[in-house]
Amino acid sequence: MNPAIVSTLLHCFLLADFLQSAPVVSPSNPDLLRELSEQAKTLVDKILKNISIVHHATVTIEGLTLDSPYPTNLQTMVTSLSIPSAPILKPLSKHFTRDVCVGRMSSGTRLYQRLLGVLSDRASGLSDLQADLRDLQTHVAKMREAAQLRDPELDENQNLDLASRLHGNYEVQIATHLTLTDLRSFCHDLIRSLKEIAISKPPPAGID
């Protein structure tokens, strides 16, 4: 037999053998993603209810509620505490894809876990919220896996030198108030984004 033909046949045989043994990549699972989004939304609803309860129990400064505007005399305190903000969650678009959205969900959830961890060393009653945020982080990770999204970049570079600025109980209560207020706002954005992701269609290959 012609050596060139033998070489070609051997190449085809090896290629076929390689393709058969290669791992099969499962396609994005929209039904599972929808189910996980709904579960995450239920958990966020629970967090929102607990935020009000925790705020009432931990923040005792008169007139400082979740719905009250920042008093002008607290603006200096707000600036000095320098509590970082969660990443912004925008409506889904070709520029703000599911990949970006879920990554920011993960980053924001992790940020509030860390903030509550710092505050828990100085105030009681925050552990349940921390646990709920850990559960939410797990759900977001499962969503990322179901949609075959890239792992988010870690945001550990955010400076959380909050503990050194909590000089007394007053600062602790203000920091708790600010964190819970911002967390509530982030949760409202999460619910909107989770609803969008639940009904969104998988993007064309190579886009998300």
Q: Is the pLDDT of residue 14 over 50?
A: no
The one-letter amino acid at 180: L
Q: What gap in Å lies between CA 126 and CA 19, rounded to an integer?
A: 52
- What is the tens place of the pLDDT at every residue in 124-150? 999 999 999 999 999 999 998 887 877
Whole-number pLDDT of residue 205: 53
Q: What gap in Å lies between CA 122 and CA 166, rounded to an integer?
A: 9
Mean pLDDT of 102-131: 94
> 65: how many CB neighbours lie within 10 A of its CB?
14
Q: What gap in Å lies between CA 151 and CA 205, rounded to an integer?
A: 17
The pTM of this model reads: 0.80
- Residue 108, CA atoms < 13 Å, CB-side half-sphere: 25
Residue 30 CB contacts under 8 Å (≥ 6 apart), including other chains: 201, 202
CA angle in degrees (0–180, nearest 5) for 47-57-46: 10
Which of 15-24, 126-135, 150-159 has the largest mean confidence?
126-135
Q: What gap in Å lies between CA 197 and CA 68, rounded to an integer?
A: 32
